[in-house]
Amino acid sequence: MIHSLFLINSSGDIFLEKHWKSVVSRSVCDYFFEAQERATEAENVPPVIPTPHHYLLSVYRHKIFFVAVIQTEVPPLFVIEFLHRVVDTFQDYFGVCSEPVIKDNVVVVYEVLEEMLDNGFPLATESNILKELIKPPTILRTVVNTITGSTNVGDQLPTGQLSVVPWRRTGVKYTNNEAYFDVIEEIDAIIDKSGSTITAEIQGVIDACVKLTGMPDLTLSFMNPRLLDDVSFHPCVRFKRWESERILSFIPPDGNFRLLSYHVSAQNLVAIPVYVKHNISFRDSSSLGRFEITVGPKQTMGKAIEGVIVTSQMPKGVLNMSLTPSQGVHTFDPVTKMLSWDVGKINPQKLPSLKGTMSLQAGASKPDENPTINLQFKIQQLAISGLKVNRLDMYGEKYKPFKGIKYMTKAGKFQVRT
């Protein structure tokens, strides 16, 4: 299974390593560095890199590469999922997952990794269980540990680890009982120059924050569960009940967790919430070009589009740009040729536009292709797939909890070709 884990920063330094089954030399990462050099961007490094004696599997998050070393063939997604779980655990423990934070808490990091894998096989990956085994660092605990020489390791085994519900500890008590669910959808799309959709898909998750006393049993039903055909569940969900009734039935972990993630790729189910009108023209003989773009809402069920940021990588021949935005601020970097326009919130009555001219290199030929426009945006209280929660019920406990559902749609890789 997993022999070693290396953490590599964006400048190519290995700042942490952990070995389980056997010590693997750092030189194995040379194959990773070669692949990193060949890739134009960090996200383009292949997730699986075969070497003569090992396989290197990696994920890139928070500007850090998490590289696992294995010696025998295993399902790659199994290792990649574990690496994502490691990152999520660090984030849960320390608030953020970054190189300085990991270096500051290096002892806790090693203790957590020791519990997450046993002889190279995943053991305790649930955040609740880990927090009972290894206490999260606090300023007071750090001071006490420094004075007394003690560690963050818990005194006893987690109660949940020995039960049939390993993700939930026993004896949970809260004065305020509450269960909140966030339905977050990320839309990836490529739109061609005429406004037609080339590809569009939705990656969705339902994140939960459940703080309930005792051992509650929850059921969550949807208005239109048929949308969810490509789904990945948290282990707490009873799969048989979902298959037969399309109802989520589960005993929830305590605290924050991801209940499910899903994927909608059917073109007819993916509504595009924004449109971009563009007029970008370069002339052969002239040293000036024209640039106009307008952004507007489309199929948003009356919800406001906010946090809109438009970016575009301009051709090398563009020396400078003289633009006037109707709202927001724009910047153009003449070195990297990157145009960025922070639009903010779109007002449907007065659509935001960016217009002006481009100064082109004298004598240079017209660029081979027009630039592509990348969009970022957020829409609160809307799941663009149309997914809606019908009801949330609780069994097994007498009290009435506070319940809340929140929806949000945001752009993933949203690209408009011009």
The answer to whether the CB of 361 falls within 8 A of the CB of 176 is no
Segment 8-58, tens digit of pLDDT: 998 899 999 999 988 999 999 999 999 999 987 888 899 999 999 999 999
Segment 151-171, tens digit of pLDDT: 777 666 665 555 678 788 778
Q: For the chain, what percentages of helix, strand and coil (3-state, to nearest 5) are there?
A: 20, 45, 35
Torsions phi, psi of 22, nearest 5? -155, 155
HEC readout, 337-365? CEEEEEEECCECCECCEEEEEEEECCCCC
Q: What is this structure's pTM?
A: 0.84
User: How many residues can be counted in the chain?
Assistant: 418
Distance between CA 193 and CA 278 in Å, rounded?
A: 8
Which among 203, 191, 199 is positioned nearest to 409, based on CA atoms?
203
Encoded amino acid at 192, one letter: D
Segment 361-412, tens digit of pLDDT: 877 777 878 899 999 999 999 999 999 999 999 999 999 999 999 999 999 9
Which among 357, 377, 352 is positioned nearest to 314, based on CA atoms?
357
- Sequence-distant (≥ 6) Cβ neighbours of residue 274 within 8 angstroms: 295, 296, 297, 298, 305, 308, 346, 375, 377, 414
Do strands 117-118 and 64-70 pair parallel, antiparallel, or not at all (unpaired)? Answer: unpaired
